[in-house]
Amino acid sequence: MNSTTPVRVRFAPSPTGWLHVGGVRTALFNYLFARKHQGKFLVRIEDTDTERSEKQYTDDILESLKWLGMNHEEPLMYQSDRGALYQQIADDLISKGLAYRCYCTPEEVEASREQMMKEGKKPMYNRVCRELNHPSGGVNGRKDFAIRAKFPLTGTTSFTDMIRGEISFPNEDLDDFVMIRSNGVPTYNFVVVVDDLAMKISHVIRGDDHINNTPKQIYLYEAMNAQKPLFAHLPMILGEDKKKLSKRNGETSTNAYRKEGYLPEALLNFLVRLGWSHGDQELFTLDEMIQYFDFEHVQVTGAVFNPEKLLWINGEHLKKTSSERLLGILKEDFGFTHPEVSAEYVTSLITHLKQKVKLIKELPDQLATLCVAGAPVVNGADLKWNKVPEQKVKIKEAIQVLIKDCDAVIAKGGKTTLEECGIGHAEIDAKLREIVAQFGLKLGEFTQPMRLYVTGQANSNIGLFDLLPIMPWVTVKARLDSCLAS
Report the distance separating Cα 338 and Cα 126, nearest Å: 70
The radius of gyration computed from the CA coordinates of the chain, to the nearest angstrom, equals 33
Handedness of CA 439, 440, 441, 442 (dihedral sign): positive
One of 200, 228, 247, 396 is an active-site residue; which one? 247
Instruction: Go through 362-400 and write b for each residue having 16 or more CB atoms within 10 A of its CB, e for each that does not.
Output: bbeebbebbbeeebeebeeeebebeeeeebbebbbebbe
Chain centre to alpha carbon of residue 16: 18
Q: Cβ neighbours of residue 280 under 8 Å, at least 6 residues apart?
A: none
Our answer to whether residue 384 is catalytic in this structure is: no
Positions marked catalytic:
247
